[in-house]
Chains A and B, each alone.
Chain A
Amino acid sequence: MHAGKSLLLRGSLCLSILLSFSTVTAQVADQLQKKPYKIDTLVQSLDSPWSLAFLPNGDYLITELGGKLRRVKDGKLLEQAINGVPAVYYAGQGGLFDVVVDREFASNQKIYLSFAFGDANGNATRLISARLLDDSLVDIKVLFTAKPLKQTPHHYGGRVVQLSDGTLLLTVGDGFNYREQAQKLNSHLGKIIRINQDGKAPADNPWANDGNALPQIWSIGHRNEQALVLTPNGIVFENEHGPRGGDEINIIRAASNYGWPVITQGIDYNGASITPYTEYAGMQQPLVSWTPSIAPAGMTYYTGSQFPEWQGDLLVVSLAQKSVRRIDLDGESVKTDERLFPELNQRMRDIRTGPDGSIYILSDGANGQLLRISTN
């Protein structure tokens, strides 16, 4: 009788331990499965959104490729687009590109817009400045128009960043059919250019005093730039599409030659060679190269507080691979390149770090969305 009772007790104890263990195991599994972040859809029904900027009052500005500049106020997309945006050449890859808020916006209300200007017979990447008063652009000034004009609606570049000295960097693509011009100093195609806020070329630009070169040129040898990012310590990162393969992230330095079309890891879309070389004297190697192509688009240097383990890393969205990639940086070298947020399996156009440390993403296409990723 006593022995039977003891057996029952021991059995109950084992069962309790087993149950407790399975409960703990389930809790641990739950914890592991629970994502440390959440993804909120803030805005929907954007028509091919391209770029996102944050205003000091908490509003967002979003460009749509077709030529509209939209405002998001209190989390809601305003029905009425901003008035006064100049007509853009909306064809192929052309349209309204980047919007950048001036460092002194609170006092000057100035923003910068880049877009495709012209028509099928002659078009170019153009940069303007304007003051944003209420929901209208005023005091519009054309700061820069790339030359020569081209006849293809492709490879515009159009990303803008304002350096700490107030000057502006603008990417200008090679126009696809004009790739050799990326190496020529008498053409803006395939370059990154630097101008003052009044549109003039700064006197300390690398070719400012070369009579045979365009004075705005800052770096050469680019193909189809998609992003331009300035870090707090002054490093400029750029990414660009290669042809078939050879997508790149580069560290941009004045007077540097990034090689296109003399060096590339990619080949032409029809399979032919662009060049026999992947390296050549005087030409920079990319920091990151993707072959096959992922078609990188927007990029941000993460400095936010919500994901401290990613501070100082580049986050890149892609169109073809439909991914968000984290480039884990150690200064100016790459430690790892990994994919984040696998559930975001869609073409994405832009990614930004918000003032609140959240990550903001614009999806690509006719029904574009503004997504916010923040900690749970």
Chain B
Amino acid sequence: MPRIIHLALAFVAAVVLTAVLSSIFSTQFVIAGLQDLGVDIPLRVRFKMTLGDLSILETLLMVISTCFLIAFLIAGLCSSKLKGNRIAWYMAAGASAFFVTFLVLEAVLQLMPVAGARTGFGLFTQAIAGLIGGYVFARLTPKNCLTPTNDATNNASQGEA
């Protein structure tokens, strides 16, 4: 499979999975906020609302694609130049991308556009979604996949997972 197709598929998989996780996490925080008010949310209602909220994937996919594109390019560069654990670079990039994106959105809009990220813990879980996205992308792609100087000799000498 051509490298660009491979990369694209891995990127799409990472973005979609992250968007799904982000939506699910956010919904659970919204539900927790309502339960804290004494509102009864049976499991069936929780499940229905969580599924229904996947309708925001379109918006999330756009935002996550943009921030992951930048973050993964930086992670690839860091992994190539600074060495270290390649997967850790991508996980850190995924988490940071989410964290930075939400903070920038909050600063620009002067409000938090994703309800589940209004608290520190909520924002942390969103970063976890980004971290998982970074992990998936790293696992699905070969080493040095984002650098033009990619060659088998270099990869073999780095010996990373």
Residues of B within 8 A of A154 (CB): 110-111
Which of B3-11, B36-44, B90-98, B147-155 is near enough to bind chain A?
B36-44
A268 nearest CB neighbor, chain B only: B115
CA A154 to CA B34, docked complex, whole Å: 21
Residues of B within 8 A of A262 (CB): 34, 37, 39
**Does the CB pair A271–B36 fall under 8 Å?**
no
- Answer whether residue B142 sits at the interface, using C-beta atoms and an 8 A cutoff: no
- Which residues of chain A in 266-282 are interfacial with respect to chain B, using CB atoms and an 8 Å cutoff? 268-277, 280
Residues of A within 8 A of B157 (CB): none
**Does the CB pair B59–A270 fall under 8 Å?**
yes
Residues of B within 8 A of A152 (CB): 110-111
The majority secondary structure among interface residues of chain B is: helix
A243 to chain B, nearest CB (A): 10
B116 nearest CB neighbor, chain A only: A272
**Does the CB pair B23–A272 fall under 8 Å?**
yes
B59 nearest CB neighbor, chain A only: A270
Residues of A within 8 A of B111 (CB): 152, 154, 176-177
Q: From A91, A152, A270, name the one whose CB has the most chain B CB atoms within 10 angstroms.
A: A270
**Does the CB pair B56–A180 fall under 8 Å?**
no
Binary per-residue interface labels of chain A (67-110) against chain B in the complex, 1 for a CB within 8 Å, 0 otherwise: 00000000000000000000000011000000000000000000
Contact of A92 among B39, B110, B114 (CB under 8 A): B110
A120 nearest CB neighbor, chain B only: B110
**Does the CB pair B45–A271 fall under 8 Å?**
no
Binary per-residue interface labels of chain A (172-183) against chain B in the complex, 1 for a CB within 8 Å, 0 otherwise: 000011011001
Residues of B within 8 A of A153 (CB): 110
**Does the CB pair A180–B59 fall under 8 Å?**
no
B56 nearest CB neighbor, chain A only: A271
**Does the CB pair A273–B53 fall under 8 Å?**
yes
B60 nearest CB neighbor, chain A only: A270
CA A180 to CA B116, docked complex, whole Å: 12
- Answer whether residue B84 sits at the interface, using C-beta atoms and an 8 A cutoff: no
Residues of A within 8 A of B56 (CB): 270-272
- Answer whether residue A261 sits at the interface, using C-beta atoms and an 8 A cutoff: yes
**Does the CB pair B112–A276 fall under 8 Å?**
no
**Does the CB pair A272–B37 fall under 8 Å?**
no
A243 nearest CB neighbor, chain B only: B115
Given contacts A176-B111, A180-B33, A261-B34, contact A272 B41 (CB under 8 A): no
**Does the CB pair B45–A276 fall under 8 Å?**
yes
Residues of A within 8 A of B55 (CB): 271-272
**Does the CB pair B114–A91 fall under 8 Å?**
no
Residues of B within 8 A of A261 (CB): 33-34
**Does the CB pair B48–A276 fall under 8 Å?**
yes
**Does the CB pair A272–B27 fall under 8 Å?**
yes
Residues of B within 8 A of A268 (CB): 115
B67 to chain A, nearest CB (A): 15
A275 nearest CB neighbor, chain B only: B34
A253 to chain B, nearest CB (A): 21
- Answer whether residue B26 sits at the interface, using C-beta atoms and an 8 A cutoff: yes
A154 nearest CB neighbor, chain B only: B111
Contact of B36 among A180, A269, A274 (CB under 8 A): A180
Binary per-residue interface labels of chain A (264-305) against chain B in the complex, 1 for a CB within 8 Å, 0 otherwise: 000011111111110010000000000000000000000000
Residues of A within 8 A of B27 (CB): 272-273
- Which residues of chain A in 36-54 are interfacial with respect to chain B, using CB atoms and an 8 Å cutoff? none
Q: From B36, B45, B48, B53, name the one whose CB has the most chain A CB atoms within 10 angstroms.
A: B53
CA A269 to CA B113, docked complex, whole Å: 8
CA A275 to CA B114, docked complex, whole Å: 14
What are 13 A-B residue pairs whose CB atoms fall within 8 Å in the complex? A180-B34, A180-B36, A262-B37, A262-B39, A270-B56, A270-B113, A271-B59, A272-B56, A273-B49, A273-B52, A273-B53, A275-B30, A275-B39
Interface residues of A (CB under 8 A from B): 91-92, 152-154, 176-177, 179-180, 183-184, 261-262, 268-277, 280
Q: Which 3 A-B pairs have the closest CB atoms?
A: A271-B56, A276-B49, A272-B53
Can you add 16 more A-B contacts, CB < 8 Å, to A153-B110, A180-B36?
Answer: A154-B111, A176-B111, A177-B111, A177-B112, A179-B115, A184-B37, A262-B37, A270-B59, A270-B114, A272-B27, A272-B30, A272-B53, A272-B56, A272-B114, A273-B53, A274-B115
